[in-house]
Structure 1
């Protein structure tokens, strides 16, 4: 299982303890992620049930679980409830077909900060994007922090959560979507044509786009940098790119 990275923020919408989490799983509750410290006994059963239901399980030590539970007794397991339903990639693609427009999709490659993901979803909504795609692993998810940061946009923008981001990109390409990666080695974004189908890849906060996903990109684009700092916050950069797509589509470039 993936080892969970620590954050300083307490999670919301949580269920603590072995029996409460077990019952939540059995009842079909809308769970996003389960954090576990251990493998045997009922924890093993929880792992198995979560896997059967496609719920992400992450390993976390006692310190992490105590932070998530707010100090409440967790018995080695904490479940985080999803604050929204995930869409499918096909559902996102169907939006542009129904509107009679070219697809405009935001692909988040390991955006782990929920504040960044929430801000990206907010801008995706205001710039007219059809939806957002995130990976199941190494990514923030639709938790309470994301919903709050999105200022409600997460209620309107479809978010698909996929197991294999590279395979998902192949599917997008088969449906007429050009994939635009964002990297300092790319072409100036203002010189790029975004009037066709757009899949805009935003890389992680610390490492940018992964090598595998970079190889899948049809184009690499960049923002001009005039100062001494050579990068922007992921959500800020995403916002600039998204509004360039909107500008070109409204003006016909």
Structure 2
């Protein structure tokens, strides 16, 4: 067999029918492209960071973290609150709770509470809106509204520095109240009421693990939450240390306090009274920040006082001592 015959028998060189490769389908180098199609010559750019590369574990973790931050931000953002039920609505209106609208169900049976709610809202210039029962059910999340609901705006909290400024502007020695982990809004409202009654310049709350100013707290405070500034501290320990640096003494309420209330010599000094939580009392860091811890003498057989009651007792004693000191 000559050379041309042998060449025709090699793979890809056969001239038999069906064995001839179609033009343009040949693999390998192609004239004018350097062996690659033009699209393949384009660069893909730098490799993306792992946190933005779809499907990469780092990207999934980044997406989860972003979602958690968004949920946390939405949770921390103050929102309007709806108070449902005839008695709660009337109580809030009597206490002059800040309100933006009163919702009344169409065709509701107008008893004396409904009549009083509408009258109080009208006297204060609050919008009275009539809505259908399905719409009121939707607004209240299915709560037992009895045909009435009250919308409250988000509470306008002060800054911890505002409390200090208000205390320094007072003619009396500064007196502030801080709450460490008080989670019951009724206790919070009662503490605010006592703070206003005994001349405190403001109430400080931690951002986490604390009750906030809700309708329940408003009602319990009997409207005094509008008369005394309430601030939120991102870090309560840091805020108390700042107050201490400004010359205020920090006194914490504790069942095993270092001094009894009868011997509280710091009562007439610039003072911050710290009230612990209903269950565990003062946290370790807060206790270490206090200049003194004070206990309330009680009869045998009584374990402890409610947080708001204990705060009221201590604030009343501080106020009494200051009045006595002012007369001497």
Residue 71 (structure 2) aligned to one of 17, 36, 47: 47
Is the radius of gyration larger for structure 1 or structure 2? 2
Show structure 2 runs of 5+ residues with no match. 1-62, 80-138, 144-150
Aligned to 1:198: 271
Give the number of the structure whose residues are more often strand, by fraction: 1
Deviations, residues 162-199 of structure 1 (Å, cap 9, x unaligned)? 11000001111011110001112211111112101110
- Give the secondary structure class of the aligned counterpart of 2:195: helix
The answer to whether residue 210 in structure 2 is matched with residue 188 in structure 1 is: no
> How far, CA to CA, are the matches of 2:71 and 2:140 in structure 1?
19
* TM-score, scaled relative to structure 2: 0.55
Show structure 1 runs of 5+ residues with no match. 1-38, 58-67, 73-79
Residue 130 (structure 1) aligned to one of 168, 176, 201: 201
> How far, CA to CA, are the matches of 2:273 and 2:177 in structure 1?
5
Segments ≥4 residues shifted beyond 4 Å: 43-46, 80-83
Aligned to 1:140: 211
Q: 1:55 to 1:230 in 2, by over 3 A?
A: same
CA displacement at 1:145 relative to structure 2: 0.8
Residue 216 (structure 1) aligned to one of 268, 289, 295: 289
- Give the secondary structure class of the aligned counterpart of 1:225: coil
Number of residue pairs aligned between Structure 1 and Structure 2: 195
> How far, CA to CA, are the matches of 2:284 and 2:154 in structure 1?
31
> How far, CA to CA, are the matches of 1:228 and 1:151 in structure 2?
32
* TM-score, scaled relative to structure 1: 0.70
The answer to whether residue 172 in structure 2 is matched with residue 86 in structure 1 is: no
CA displacement at 1:138 relative to structure 2: 0.6
> How far, CA to CA, are the matches of 2:183 and 2:69 in structure 1?
28
Aligned to 2:310: 237
